[in-house]
Structure 1
Amino acid sequence: MAEPTTDPAGASEPEQPSYEAAREELVDVVRRLEAGGTTLEESLALWERGEHLAGTCQRWLDGARARLDEVLEQDTDA
């Protein structure tokens, strides 16, 4: 079992992929959905996976923005 890690939003959850890995997999999911040829059940599973990956990417981006804002705020306070 994978060790829990801390995601960019600070919540503890099982093995969080990196932003790059999540984005790469999301691109693949979208490509597969656009290509068609999957059953309804497979399409739904791909859609759900894509939604999860999009959320992961957004949390990474939000975390990065918060870190940048924090550094910029410290610079203006100095």
Structure 2
Amino acid sequence: MMQKTYEELITELKEILRTIEDNDTGLEESIALFKRGEALIRECERLLAEAELTIATLTQE
């Protein structure tokens, strides 16, 4: 599976938020989407940490 970019993850998170906030989404689906959103946030945090490390390494050289 190809890893998503930070921007793709943010787009998916925004779509999850829109879906959860609409009045047509049931409780079970909302919970499943919330769990998916948590996983996406963790992946975003990981990518940001990698980017920070890369920038710190480059600026030290």
For the aligned residues, what is the CA RMSD?
Answer: 1.2
1:48 maps to 35
Change (3 A) 1:36 1:54: farther
The 4+ residue runs of structure 1 with deviation greater than 6 A are none
Instruction: Show structure 2 runs of 5+ residues with no match.
Output: none
Which of the two has greater helix per residue?
A: 2
When the two structures are superposed, what TM-score results if normalisation uses the length of structure 2? 0.86
**How many aligned residue pairs are there?**
61
Q: Comparing both chains, which one has the higher relative contact order based on Cα–Cα distances under 8 Å and sequence gaps of 6 or more?
A: 2
| Identical counterparts, % of pairs | 36
Secondary structure of the 2:24 match is: coil
Q: Which has the higher strand share?
A: 1
AA at the equivalent of 1:42: E
Structure 1 unpaired stretches of 5+: 3-14
